[in-house]
Amino acid sequence: MNIPLTPLRCLRYAAEQFPRRTAVVCGDLRFSYLQFAHRAAQLAGALRTAGVKPGDRVAFLSMNCHRLLEAYYGVLDAGAILLPLNIRLAPHELAFILNDARAKVLFLEKDFLPIVDSFRQSTTTVEKFYLLDAAPQADWLAPKNYDELLAAAEPYRTDIMDIDENAVSEIFYTSGTSATPKGVMLTHRNVYMHALYACLTDDPTAEAVHLHTIPLFHANGWGTPHALALTGGKHVMLRRFETATIFRLIEQERVRNMCLVPAMATALVNCPERTKHDLSSLKIINIGGAASSPTLVREAEEKLGASCRSGYGLTETSPTLSISRMKPGLDWQGEQKCIGQAMTGFAIPGVELRVVDTNEKDVPHDGQSIGEIVARGDVVMEGYWGQPQATEEAMRGGWFHTGDMATINDEGYLLVVDRKKEIIVSGGENISSLEVEKAMLAHPGVYEVAVVPVPDAKWGEVPKALVVLKPGAQATEAELLEFCRGRIAHYKAPRSVEFFESLPKTGTGKILKRELRKKYWGGQDTIRPEFASRK
């Protein structure tokens, strides 16, 4: 008898095997795994009483909080599909997603009341609005808030044997460059298998204490709600990325693991508060979401005291595809260790990765030839919600086409050189903006940098570096240009530098290059015609 694969099994296992272990720390609240599982079951019962039917979409607009973590299980137990919303989106973007997904219920935190009130009348399918963390006062809100809803509900746990493991369990909307975001459908099987593979990849331990620095609206917060439950680890919720709060929680809760985008890691290693806290419990830092650099890996290991490695994945892949830890038999030493751990890495168990040319043929495994990363495996999405043509295009030939350009070496390690649409073409030469950024980040005064193309009468376009300096640091344009030319080929080096106090970022901390490009192209993004279909 085959038991369906579903992430619900993760929490049920934890409640059975680790009932008294602390599952969640959220502000002043603490829940054991038995309590966590009970609250998730109460949510399932409340949703069913409220008229939520199997397959209905239940949306959450919330910062990282125990209630959103409970939804990862309770919504699925009710037979519904979880739809976490990016809290950084504009009102019209949120309305589009709710209408496109045909969401039936929306749970929201009080901080987002004005935003939701501004667009709620344009939503066509949402029947009920529930407040998560305060007493309802507006007449358009349901009379009971989240906790009152749970208190009045009978716990409900679906029979695992009744679940279709290939049914959609979660939908996450991409936040890329498209004017119409796509809803990524992840199945019960996708999410459960990702949890198992994450356990194999991350050297799990029952002593794991994970700080949720990545928003849970971002592809499961990189898969942690499920993998951590399987090992009985502790979830430490972080509402906002605040360096002082992070250092305090690491010391207070003895945090062992956390995930960071490069901008987060840069902020932590450069924060003067860091030396005032005991960070000795911190063992593993995974950097992903954007390309890292050997300089950042070295600084993170030196200043935060943890093993730092990079990872790679997409919303469409649940999300993790690869990790950059050192394989058995290799012996990275010194700077080579930092270079290796800053790479895109090799495929995690259950994933197949290739780098292919425009004819879908594998490029040589020489660490130099560039092609597009394609993937297949148990973690790859079911498809895009309501967009069969986009699904067919992305999944052509049975492989998911990532749109990321990379090299692969003879050890199977990939290195992303750029997004397909962001490679700078100058005088017929392809220039990787990521390679230029890594060279610039090696300068001791550079805090963060984005390299974008700008128009040029002779070469068509040339790279320009947009730089934020570290507090108190000084550097001139000429100095940075000369520094870069000493590390990469002159034709790749920026032709100019512009200094900024800060760079615009997405809700997950990635630099918004598309917004920066518009500044130099008359308000338009620079997507060359051959890449237009990949927007």
Q: Which residues contact 90 (CB under 8 A, 6 or more apart)?
A: none
**Which pLDDT belongs to residue 521?**
87
3-state secondary structure of 407: strand
Q: What are phi and psi of 111, to 5 degrees?
A: -60, -25
**Which pLDDT belongs to residue 203?**
66
- How far is the C-alpha of 384 from the C-alpha of 404, rounded, in Å? 18
The count of other CB atoms within 10 Å of the CB of residue 533 is: 10
DSSP state of 343: S
The count of other CB atoms within 10 Å of the CB of residue 95 is: 21
- As a whole number, mean pLDDT of residues 443-448 equals 96
Q: What are phi and psi of 316, to 5 degrees?
A: -70, -10
Q: pTM value?
A: 0.88
Instruction: Mean pLDDT check: name the lowest of 73-87, 120-134, 190-204, 326-340.
Output: 190-204
Highest mean pLDDT among 94-108, 166-180, 207-221, 411-425 belongs to 94-108
**Which pLDDT belongs to residue 484?**
95
Tell me the per-residue pLDDT of 376-394, one tens digit each, with 9 for 90 and over: 999 999 999 999 999 999 9
| Confidence grade of residue 535 (pLDDT, cut at 50, 70, 90) | very low
- How far is the C-alpha of 70 from the C-alpha of 76, rounded, in Å? 10
**Which pLDDT belongs to residue 180?**
73
- How far is the C-alpha of 432 from the C-alpha of 417, rounded, in Å? 6
**Which pLDDT belongs to residue 243?**
96
- How far is the C-alpha of 134 from the C-alpha of 461, rounded, in Å? 52
Q: How far is CA 176 from CA 97, 182, 206, 269, 384, in A?
A: 14, 9, 36, 28, 14
- How far is the C-alpha of 529 from the C-alpha of 512, rounded, in Å? 21
- As a whole number, mean pLDDT of residues 280-305 equals 94
Write down the CATH number for the domain with range 241-419: 3.40.50.12780
Taking 70 as the threshold, does the pLDDT of residue 358 lie above it? yes
Q: Cα 202 from chain centroid?
A: 16
**Which pLDDT belongs to residue 525?**
63
Taking 90 as the threshold, does the pLDDT of residue 430 lie above it? no
**Which pLDDT belongs to residue 228?**
95
- How far is the C-alpha of 13 from the C-alpha of 23, rounded, in Å? 13
Q: What are phi and psi of 525, to 5 degrees?
A: -75, 155
| Helix (H), strand (E) at residue 431 | strand 429-431
> Is the Cβ–Cβ distance between 107 and 146 less than 8 Å?
yes
Bridge partners, residue 407, by sequence: 415
E strands, 279-363, are 284-287, 307-313, 320-323, 346-347, 351-356
Taking 60 as the threshold, does the pLDDT of residue 528 lie above it? no
Q: What are phi and psi of 15, to 5 degrees?
A: -65, -30
- Domain boundaries along the sequence of the chain: 33-188, 241-419, 423-534
Q: Which residues contact 324 (CB under 8 A, 6 or more apart)?
A: 309, 310, 311, 340, 341, 342, 343, 344, 345, 346, 413
The residue type found at 377 is: G
| Confidence grade of residue 247 (pLDDT, cut at 50, 70, 90) | very high
- How far is the C-alpha of 210 from the C-alpha of 265, rounded, in Å? 16
The count of other CB atoms within 10 Å of the CB of residue 176 is: 16
Q: Which residues contact 262 (CB under 8 A, 6 or more apart)?
A: 287, 289, 290, 291, 292, 293, 296, 448, 509
| Same topology between domain 241-419 and domain 423-534 | no
Tell me the per-residue pLDDT of 7-66, one tens digit each, with 9 for 90 and over: 999 999 999 999 999 999 999 999 999 999 999 999 999 999 999 999 999 999 999 999
Taking 80 as the threshold, does the pLDDT of residue 522 lie above it? no
**Which pLDDT belongs to residue 440?**
95
Mean per-residue pLDDT over the chain, rounded: 93
Taking 90 as the threshold, does the pLDDT of residue 210 lie above it? yes
**Which pLDDT belongs to residue 533?**
31
Q: Which residues contact 457 (CB under 8 A, 6 or more apart)?
A: none
CA-nearest of 363, 367, 235, 348 to 288 is: 348
CA-nearest of 259, 258, 202 to 231 is: 202
Instruction: Mean pLDDT check: name the lowest of 203-212, 242-251, 407-416.
Output: 203-212
**Which pLDDT belongs to residue 178?**
45
**Which pLDDT belongs to residue 505?**
87
CA-nearest of 268, 269, 266 to 291 is: 266
Measured in residues, the chain has a length of 535
- How far is the C-alpha of 52 from the C-alpha of 47, rounded, in Å? 5
Superfamily of segment(s) 33-188: ANL, N-terminal domain (3.40.50.12780)
Q: Which two tokens stand for residue 521?
A: 């192209």
- How far is the C-alpha of 70 from the C-alpha of 53, rounded, in Å? 18
CA-nearest of 219, 259, 208 to 238 is: 259
Q: Which two tokens stand for residue 229?
A: 């439950």
The count of other CB atoms within 10 Å of the CB of residue 205 is: 13
Write down the CATH number for the domain with range 423-534: 3.30.300.30
